[in-house]
Amino acid sequence: MHTVILSGEPAGSIPETKALIESQWGAKCFDTAGMTEISSIFMFEPADQPGGCHIIEDHFIEQVIDPETGHEVAYGDSGERVTTSFGRTTIPLIRYRTADMVVKVPHTVSTSGRTWDLYEGGILGRVDDMKLVRGTNVYPRAVESIVRSFDEVDEFQIRIHREGIRDEITLAVEPYDHVADGRWMQVRDDLMRELADAHEGLRFHVVRASSGELPRFELKAKRLVDAR
């Protein structure tokens, strides 16, 4: 095994998760994404430009819009991916809203000779993935990026609920069995600080889950539970 192609969820575009997969498989990982509606992949991660995915522009016109206004956004701004496909004559898609959140950056020339624009960080999430908690946008991908930077963490789950008129957010963390109580308390405190720093000061309640308590996923992971 020397190459792993990742698709279907943002693992390949999250550096910490990607590094974890590479270490466990002993192989290089590359991100890609496709859609049933277009019967093909529409982007791929070049070996010499990790962290970004070339848009296959000779098959698709890709635009990025503000999901609220529908207006196209500038390079470097986050928005919803809109695609027009040239590849399916019987089921053409014209300005199809995908609900994928992306950031498009201008083209660069890679060693492969490709000069297409890139999606920085691949697919960042889904429009409907974003949750508003006390005025702060929370994306599961952003939380995972922080959580996976801790080697002590085996699995995690984001839980949102309401107490009275106030929304609360909890991160349930299942550490590996060998993690001692003292080390867990340090991990918990570091997680709370880093999550707050990344979310405009929003306080995450970080709790320890028992071994085997949290669900495992073979296909697309669903690590956010909104019980409001």
How confident is the model at residue 209, as a pLDDT?
96
How confident is the model at residue 109, as a pLDDT?
64
H-assigned helices in the chain: 15-25, 140-147, 181-198
Q: CATH 3.30.300.30: which residues of the chain?
A: 130-226
The candidate with the shortest Cα–Cα distance to 196, out of 220, 169, 175, is 169
* For the chain, percent of residues with pLDDT exceeding 70: 98
Overall average pLDDT of the 127-149 stretch = 89
**Whole-angstrom Cα distance, residue 131 to residue 95?**
26
Overall average pLDDT of the 173-198 stretch = 97
**Whole-angstrom Cα distance, residue 221 to residue 216?**
8
Contacts of 50 (CB under 8 A, 6+ apart): none
**Whole-angstrom Cα distance, residue 228 to residue 226?**
6
**Domain 3-124 part of CATH 3.40.50.300:** no
For residue 94, count other CB atoms closer than 10 A to its CB.
Answer: 9
Per-residue pLDDT of 17-29, as tens digits, reads 888 889 999 999 9
Architecture per CATH, 130-226:
2-Layer Sandwich (3.30)
Phi, psi for residue 194 in degrees, rounded to 5: -65, -40
Per-residue pLDDT of 52-91, as tens digits, reads 899 999 889 999 999 989 999 999 999 999 999 887 777 7
How confident is the model at residue 197, as a pLDDT?
96
Per-residue pLDDT of 139-173, as tens digits, reads 888 899 899 999 999 999 999 999 988 999 999 99
How confident is the model at residue 47, as a pLDDT?
83
Pairing assessment for the beta strands 136-138 and 131-133 based on DSSP bridges = antiparallel
Q: CATH 3.40.50.12780: which residues of the chain?
A: 3-124
Residue 214 corresponds to which tokens in the numbers above? 């949290």
